Structure 1
Amino acid sequence: MAVRPPRPAGAPAEAPSVPDTMRAVVFDEPGDADSLHLTEVATPAPVMSELLVRVVAAGVNPIDAKTRSGRGVSSAIASYPAVLGFDFSGIVVRAPFETHPLQPGTPVYGIAAFPRTPGSYAEYAVVSSLSVAKMPTGLSHVEAAGVPLAALTAWGLIVETAHAHEGQRILIHAGSGGVGHFAVQFASYFGAHVTATASGRNAAWLRELGASVVIDHTTTKFEDVVADVDVVIDLVGNTLDATGSRSLGVLRRGGLIVNVPTGSWPTFEEDASAADVRASTYKVIPDGGALATIARLLASGSVQVYIDRVFDLGDAAEAHREIEDGHTRGKIVLRVSDD
């Protein structure tokens, strides 16, 4: 009987077999959280430079719930049933070619291209090799799955848009949320003086993350406490107590306000122009290079991710109800499969 020769040292790992179908959470049309249900769907197949990843954990973000309800990016969903989800952490099972740096068996984290491809609420996901990076050393898959979309959004806001630097004064609304708690840490890391709004229960925690001042929005108007800030990171808009409009009054002349939640402030550009401040919206860029940098910050302990709750994949509806409640500290994650 012929004996198979051993694999040479350093050669790519053999790709494991992949089933034709997989478990996934889908929704058949826009609706409430109960429209999400667990079923079997076809396993996606990668093409060109895409990776096939076995998903271990998937992050849950506000954009997921908005899309499921018919807002968010729902208009770009080509057909139903649709598999939701952007964030993931998992193991590469198919690489684009034999010398690609992310070979089968490599732990990775990143962002799926939903709704252009099925999302990460599934046992397997096809992802662009440019939107992933090796998983941060020292983090579990559940922790890593809570990072990509929120951290990349915060990185784009703080580093690439606000250009955080020593002495800069930055006000961050909703500092205890998924994006907010990363924004506080990045701004502090680069030397900015950070003021964050949050509920009182999160004040001590946000100070530990680097905020110099934390304002309890349930008891204090932020405009009574801060003035002449250089940058406002608006993660609320005018969906609650005209937070966005009130923020214009605390910016210095020529300061910058960045509004993130889509549709949260319809007159944003006009209002900012009238207040003589610079204004921009922001959309996350799924940049694997930035994810690799963030992974180093996480591995060194300079930045941390906080996971509020973990749900099994089949409990995605409950996870959506939790995130829509609006009181999440950090991130919510779905446990999809075993490590």
Structure 2
Amino acid sequence: MQAVEFRRFGGPEVLELVDRPDPHPGPGQVRIAVRAAGINASDWKKRQGAMDQELPQALGHEAAGVVDELGAGVTDVAVGDHVFGFSAASGAQAELTVLSHYAPMPPSLSFVEAAALPAAVETAARALDQLGIDGTILINGASGSVGSAAVQLAVARGARVIGTGSPASHDYLRSLGAEPVAYGPGLKDRVGPVDRALDIAGSGVLPELIDLAGGAEHVITVADPGAERHGVRFSRGDAGRALYVLHEIGGITVPVGRTFPLAEVADAHRVGEAGGVRGKLVLVVGR
């Protein structure tokens, strides 16, 4: 099978499609013929050498596709079922991958839409669970894939949600149930006090969010590496919750910004690193 891999750190040009042995599922896992795989910022951070120093590396942690092999003890899905979920290890951007956490695809979603969900929804749900839902919550960076999932989850849990975003995203944020506000200086004057703040964008506004929420204990970030010096919790991945989140997804969508064929993964990285595309980037694999 073909898979995305890099054998040295560098720019998008180091990415290549290589032939790798077909993977096989372990107990409780399934293998899928991948139809779509999500791209995340962690992919280009790994490619740059900012994360995980191992070489060579395969890429991709989330995918949707058709079950074609079952691991021992799997009884909840069958060969031919459409599922989505998290790969057992890096390697979802490939023709075949093994999913360690999976769930049946909601029938209303395409493969591309389903592949965009796992990482965004798991990140949003985990951060909101750690933060707690209490009164009014400000979500900084509300219009992207993680932010929009967080808005939908917080609204569904009864919160009043204020979401920061560019003016072009405000109608979209209103459609999700959020009250949109613009990025930039003077956020406190535009928003006023809130009960909780969730930082998705990592745009250096933690001091303002702490002030707005009445203390660092009421703020969580999933993106700002300087969280510790501000006394703010940094929410990290929890594979143990991933399966629960996948099964609980209902009616949540995240915007898909662009799709690319698997062979054009380098172009996808260039677009993602340049910014400017609102929504998830997804690789389309196979038919």
* Of 159, 166, 186, the match for 1:199: 166
- % same residue: 32
Partner of 1:8: none
Q: Is the 1:228–1:251 Cα contact (8 Å) retained in structure 2?
A: yes
Task: Describe the shift of the 1:231–1:98 C-alpha distance in structure 2 as closer, same or farther (beyond 3 A).
Answer: closer
Q: What SS does the aligned partner of 1:55 have?
A: strand
Once residues 134 and 195 of structure 1 are traced to their aligned partners in structure 2, the CA distance between those partners, rounded to angstroms, is 32
Tell me the distance in 2 between the aligned counterparts of 1:234 and 1:136: 28
Closer, same or farther in 2 for the Cα pair 1:122/1:206, shift >3 Å? same
Output the aligned Cα RMSD: 1.8
What does residue 138 of structure 2 align with?
171
Residue by residue over 1:218-256, the C-alpha shift from the partner in whole angstroms, topping out at 9 and shown as x without a partner, is 5x531221232121111233xx4x312222211124751
Alignment equivalent of 1:228, drawn from 193, 214, 218: 193
Change (3 A) 1:235 1:99: closer
Gapped regions of structure 1 (runs ≥ 5): 1-21, 273-278
Matches of 2:26 and 2:58 in 1, distance apart? Answer: 19
When the two structures are aligned, how many residues end up with a matched partner?
285
Q: Are 1:106 and 2:68 an aligned pair?
A: no
Does structure 1 residue 217 correspond to structure 2 residue 172? no
Task: Kindly state the Cα deviation for residue 172 of structure 1 after the two structures are TM-superposed.
Answer: 0.7
| Among 127, 136, 145, the residue aligned to 1:157 | 127
Find the residue that maps to 2:238 and give its secondary structure: coil
1:271 counterpart residue number? 230
Give the equivalent residue in structure 2 for 1:284.
237
The structure having more radius of gyration, on CA atoms, is 1
- What SS does structure 1 have at the residue aligned with 2:271? helix
State the alpha-carbon separation in 1 of the partners of residues 15 and 165 from structure 2.
30
The Cα of 1:281 is off from its aligned counterpart by 1.2
TM-score (norm 2): 0.93
CA change 1:98–1:152 in 2 (3 A) is closer
Measured in 1, the distance between the counterparts of 2:22 and 2:48 equals 25
Cα distance in structure 2, aligned partners of 1:285 and 1:332: 22
In the alignment, what sits opposite 1:94? 69
Deviation, structure 1 residue 312: 0.4
Counterpart CA distance in 2 for 1:161 and 1:231 is 11
| CA displacement at 1:265 relative to structure 2 | 3.4
- Using the size of structure 1 for normalisation, the TM-score is 0.79
Counterpart residue type for residue 256 of structure 2: I
2:96 corresponds to: 124
Q: 1:127 to 1:99 in 2, by over 3 A?
A: closer
Cα 1:125–1:154 shift into 2, 3 Å: same
In structure 2, what is the Cα distance between the partners aligned to 1:326 and 1:145? Answer: 20
Q: Report the Cα offset of residue 98 of structure 1.
A: 6.8
What are the superposed Cα offsets for residues 152-204 of structure 1, whole Å, 9 maximum, x if unpaired?
Answer: 1111112x223325xx1111111111101111111111111111111111011
Contact 1:227/1:251 (CA < 8 Å) preserved in 2? no
Q: 1:33 and 1:110 mapped to 2: Cα distance?
A: 25
Deviation at residue 270 of structure 1 after TM alignment: 3.7
Q: Deviations over 1:287-307 (max 9, x none)?
A: 21221111xx12xxxx22211
Amino acid at match of 1:124: L
Aligned pair partner of 2:150 in 183, 208, 211 = 183
How far apart are the structure 2 equivalents of 1:319 and 1:188?
32
Aligned residue for 1:100, secondary structure, equals coil
Are the aligned partners of 1:95 and 1:103 in contact in 2 as well (CA < 8 Å)? yes
Tell me which amino acid in the other structure corresponds to 1:121: Q
1:99 to partner: Cα distance: 5.9
| Secondary structure at 1:101 match in 2 | coil
Contact in 1 for aligned 2:27/2:73 (Cα 8 Å): no
Q: Give the Cα separation in 2 of the matches to 1:135 and 1:176.
A: 24
